[in-house]
Amino acid sequence: MSKHDDRIRDASFGAAALVRRALPPRTLAPSTAISLVAKPSAIAAVAPAAYASITPVAKIPIGPITSSGKVTAPVTSTGRVNIPSIPSSSMKVPIAEAPAPIAIAAIEKGADTAVQQMVNTMRTSPDMNVKNGSGFVPPTGGGAEDPPPADMGPQAPLPSPSAQDESTDSSAWTPPDEPVRQPAASPPVPSTAMVKSTDSLAAVKSTDSAAPQSFWSKLLALFGFGKKAAPAATVHGEDNLQSMVESVVRRARNGDQNAMALIALVRDNAKKGHPKAQETFALLNEYVRCNPVGGSHMGYEPDYVALTQAAGGARWNGDPDYVALTQAVDARWGGEYADAVALSHGPLLTNPRIRALLARFNGAQQHAIVFGIEHPTSQHKGHAVRIGRILGHARRLQAVRHRMPLSHFDPMVGWELGE
Amino acid sequence: MIVLPLVILALAGTAGIAKSKRDNKQVDPRTQAERQVIYETALNTCKDPAKLRTMAQAFREQGLIAEADMLCKRAALQELPQEVKDARREAFRKGMASTDQAAVLSLANAFHSEGATGAAENLRKYAAGLTSAEEKTHEQA
- In this structure, of A71-85, A133-147, A239-253, the range with the lowest mean pLDDT score is A133-147
Nearest CA in chain B to A10: B58
pLDDT band at A3 (very low <50, low <70, confident <90, very high): low
A342 and B89 within 8 Å at the Cβ level: the answer is: no
Rounded to an integer, the average pLDDT of A87-107 is 41
Residue A8, pLDDT score: 53
Nearest in space to A233 (alpha carbons), one of A265, A262, A206: A206
Beta-carbon separation of A7 and B45 below 8 A: no
Looking at the predicted structure, is the pLDDT value of residue A90 above 50? no
Which of A176-185, A283-292, B108-117 shows the lowest mean pLDDT across its residues? Answer: A176-185
Spell out the alpha helix ranges (H) of chain B. 3-23, 29-45, 49-61, 65-76, 82-97, 101-113, 117-140
Name the more confident of A7 and A82.
Answer: A7
Query: Which residues, 6+ apart, have CB-to-CB distance to A60 below 8 Å?
Result: A75, A79, A80, A81, A351, A354, A355, A358
pTM, full prediction: 0.42
Task: Answer whether B136 sits within 8 Å of A342, measured CB to CB.
Answer: yes
CA distance B67 to A283: 72
Tell me the DSSP string of A240-290: HHHHHHHHHHHHHHTT-HHHHHHHHHHHHHHHHT-HHHHHHHHHHHHHHHH
Q: In Å, how far is B20's CA from the nearest CA of chain A?
A: 20
Q: Is the pLDDT of residue A88 over 80?
A: no
By the 8 A CB rule, do B120 and B109 touch?
yes
Predicted confidence at residue B141, as pLDDT, reads 52
Which of B117, B126, B136 lies nearest to residue A334, judging by beta carbons?
B136
Tell me which chain A residues have a C-beta less than 8 angstroms from the C-beta of B47.
415
The ipTM value here is 0.79
Tell me if A42 sits within 8 A of A403, measured CB to CB: yes
Give the SS3 label for residue A220: helix
Q: How many CB pairs under 8 A join A and B?
A: 127
- Do the Cβ atoms of A416 and B139 come within 8 Å? no
The chain-wide mean pLDDT, for chain A, equals: 58
Cβ distance B77 to A335 less than 8 Å, yes or no, reads: no
Contact: B122, A15; criterion CB under 8 Å: no
Say whether pLDDT at A255 is over 50.
Answer: yes
Which residues is A173 bridged to in the sheet? A130
Residues from chain B that touch A337, judged by Cβ atoms under 8 A, are: 125, 128-129, 132
Can you give the C-alpha Rg of chain A in angstroms?
28
B92 contacts A413? CB cut-off 8 A: yes
Q: What does the pLDDT read at residue A56?
A: 39
Q: Are residues A281 and A208 in contact, defined by beta-carbon separation less than 8 angstroms?
A: no
Instruction: Please spell the DSSP secondary structure of B7-30, one letter per residue.
Output: HHHHHHHHHHHHHHHHHTPPPPHH
Q: A4: which chain B residues are within 8 Å (Cβ-Cβ)?
A: 61-62
Does the pLDDT value for residue B119 go beyond 90?
A: yes
pLDDT at A13: 52
Express each pLDDT in B37-82 by its tens digit.
888 888 888 888 999 999 999 999 988 899 999 999 999 998 899 9
Q: Is the alpha carbon torsion for B43, B48, B54, B57 positive or negative?
A: positive
Percent of chain A with pLDDT over 90: 1
> According to the model, what pLDDT value does residue B54 have?
92
Contacts with B126 from chain A: Cβ below 8 Å:
341, 397
Nearest by CB to A415, which of B47, B55, B99? B47
Interchain contact, A14 vs B41, CB within 8 Å: no
Over range A81-108, report the average pLDDT: 41
Read off the pLDDT band of A364 (50, 70, 90). Answer: confident
Contact B130 A413 (CB under 8 A): no
Q: How far is B7 from chain A (nearest CA, A)?
A: 33
